[in-house]
Amino acid sequence: MADGLARDAILSLDLCLGACVVALEVDGRGVVARREIPMDRGHQERIAPLLQEVTAEAGLPLTRLRRIGVTTGPGSFTGLRVGLAFARTLAMTLGCECVGMSSLEALAATAADGGTILAAIPSRQDLMFTALFVDGAPVSAPDQLALPEIAARLAEIWTGGPLTLVGPGAAALVGLAPSATVLDIAYPSADALARRTAAVPAGAPSPRALYLRAPDARTLAERGARV
């Protein structure tokens, strides 16, 4: 590089769920600074100061970033849009790679390795955003399902052995598998987020929002339309 600095740092961001989660990792040293700040709103105002905090704590200039990872949803429409825009803009400014992962992947990474993992995020009207993973690998695409559909999908994939339910919707699914380990967490840990960012293959496509449903916000014309 022209400035003589090594590109040896990775930044990970999650604004999709009930927090601002930021992790800063350096090659060979692991996560050197992290923040997990619970919040339902205000992500746009908080993310830049949090980034300043973690880089100051680690003593790293942003120019050492070689990769930025960001969750792409499902989750809060505002949070995921803010996170994506912030990550893309920062990566473009720094000339570094920007990669994405679903919030369900990030939640699953918080669970212990091995066995089957069902990540779940409440949606609306008794629906859940879900995805299944076996030994860390996804075995179902992220989807929005009702409880009977989740039960049917779980029955197709889980054939016994360790099962973990993880995420803000995990507790509501315990009736599907009373013997499962339940991790009722509102957002992924910073360390799990960093692991997922590092695991995204090089050359992955630029991150895009994963909504899985139409936004609640509507234009005035849409509100007045007769259906």
- What H or E segment, with its residue span, contains residue 55? helix 43-58
CB distance 165 to 151 below 8 Å: no
Given a cut of 90, whether residue 3 has pLDDT beyond it is: no
Query: 104-151: per-residue pLDDT in tens?
Result: 999 999 997 789 999 999 998 889 999 999 998 999 999 999 999 999
Domain with CATH 3.30.420.40 in the chain: 9-102+189-199, 105-183
CB distance 70 to 98 below 8 Å: yes
Contact partners, residue 33, CB within 8 Å, separation at least 6: 23, 24, 53, 54, 55, 57, 58
- Classified by CATH at the fold level, domain 9-102+189-199 comes out as Nucleotidyltransferase; domain 5 (3.30.420)
| Class of the CATH-defined domain 105-183 | alpha beta
Cis peptide before 61 (omega within 30 of 0): no
% of the chain residues with pLDDT over 90 = 83
Query: 19-66: per-residue pLDDT in tens?
Result: 999 999 999 999 999 999 999 888 999 999 999 999 999 999 999 999
| pLDDT value at residue 216 | 42
**Residue (of 62, 223, 216, 61) closest to 125 by Cα position:** 216
